[in-house]
Structure 1
Amino acid sequence: MAGLHEHQLVQSIIFNGEKLDLSFLSRANFIETISLDGPKLIIVFDDKESILRDDLGITEKSVMTIVLADPFNSDVLDWSADWVVMTMPVDEGDNVTFNLMPKVLCDLKKPSLVGRCFVKQAVSNILQHLAPNMPHDVGVFPFKLDFHLLPAQRTSRLLRQIAKELGAVVFIRRGILVFRTLAELQQRSAKYQYHYNDTRQKYQIAKFTLPNDESIVADLTQRCYMGWDDVKGIVKSTRHMGAPIEHTGATSQAVLNNLTKIPITVLDANMQGNGGLQAGDCIDIVWNRSDLEKPIDESLPVKVVLGTVAHSFAGKRYLNRIKGVLDK
């Protein structure tokens, strides 16, 4: 399939040296997260003639090179990467939905062929061994722990464990493996300032909802973790001391305290497409009101970390949906 059709999100797709004709692309969703659940890319093609499946031979586990960009916003999104087709269901209208994962992430999710031991090593050194094929953005952590990658264990699972015990988040941001605490991300300068209820501003929130998940958050965080040290005896978390006790294999009080830390979602919002919005960045928000005496609503969060960013292109419209999180 030849030809190149400029979209505001997907700029080109190449499979085995062949450029796919993007005029048959009907929808695209690029989802970024601050976890190793993403990023994800979902693209839908009209394939009534079975060109993609039969002529080109695209199947599950095929690798495509895809360029994502936002050319109408100074290319603040400009990322070329290899993506692996995880599934490709076909509906009754012969529309093929390609569910894709970056190859670098797919590699992290493969079972390890050998075991590895990391004894009192810095996180940066561990990441160099576990994810050597991409650049890293790593914070500084005050203590070092022992970690073990067992044979047949997925590297991504160990990375999640390390992040959990160190009170951090680990995710891939446009080809870079980020390993930092949410508090660090929250302290960074905001990349954009968004406004609600002010059409004069360039960056506007069209609509929003506030989460109603207090019971879910409480269920995930209201634990008093406890471990056993052969020298110190019982080691107990100093957080949520009145909560139900849960025993773990951790023996460091700092680790026990970190086990209850999770990103807390405080905002779900929709806006016009902006390729510069990416998971892990901060945005400032001005909540305008029509009340002249109280023109700003101070009850809503004025700064959030982007925990999830969905970039959606369909019907020649490019939209974003974000979930803002905070370290509480």
Structure 2
Amino acid sequence: MSATLDRAKADPAPPVVDEPAPRSRTRRSWRQTLRRDWQLYALAVLPVLFLVVFRYVPMLGNVIAFRQFRPGGSIFGEQWVGLRYVDMFIHDPTFWKVFTNTVILGALTLVVCFPLPIVLALLLNEVRKKAFKRTVQSISYLPHFLSLVIVAGMVMQLLSLQGTVNQIIEGLGGEGIPFLQRPEWFRTIYVGSEVWQTVGWGTILYLAALTTVDTSLYEAARIDGANRWRQTWHVTIPGIRPTMITLLILNIGTFLNVGFEKVLLLYNPLTYSTADVISTYLYRVGLMSNNLSYAAAIGLFQACIGLVMVLSANFISRRVVGASLW
């Protein structure tokens, strides 16, 4: 017994530390949350209504892709025809020509228009004169706010037979080129106008992302002997990678939705071979020819391809890069 007491005195018990009592988490009801943040919810009302009315409710009309629709009849079609209209466009050579044009225009737009805002943002980030930087920003993003009708009118005025471009060509001793009547020129005209109109606006997004990059990383890179190119490659680009991935996935989602308004304003029957895309083909077939069921089947096919491309791009980005949209 005495040995046990001596051992207890030699090895005293550790002091008991009073642990703080766990905080009671009070769960707010949706009424309390609404009362606290009603201003934010009020701002979201109109965008949500827009999405519901103009994006989700019209999805119910996709049923006419499998039903025969007659103008003046039921909005959901008169008679069930199954995959009749799907079989029609699958075996329609005109559709596949239009689909090819859409893929080519979408790929050119993505390859050319996606990296240019990144390059311009990186160049502007290196500019130290604020006045010059602001001037370049203003000149580059102002075309984004122009109406597509105005942009198309400017393009047609510049490239017409008596337009500015042909006057310069003739002044240099060349022969005028009917740009808007030559199918081989349409893709160049379309992509060039997209670059002029969208690059500046995309640059603003990347410049905003550049402000979130930690400046201490640049100091560490300089201490390690990295030049400006190495700092851009190893610090700047990884810093804006989440923004790049998000915009890339969004652009891939609209890959097949090549600008309907601009193509409709710029093309003509002489350039159908390279200019006609799915959206303009749907306009002619559905609204002008009143074949709405056939147009709905093509539109549903286009939407399914877009969904698959978005999901695939998001999955690949999450596995390869480690960043994704969701």
Using the size of structure 1 for normalisation, the TM-score is: 0.19
Higher RCO structure, 1 or 2 (CA under 8 Å, sep 6+): 2
Q: Whose helix proportion is higher, 1 or 2?
A: 2
Q: Whose strand proportion is higher, 1 or 2?
A: 1
- Larger Cα-atom Rg: 2
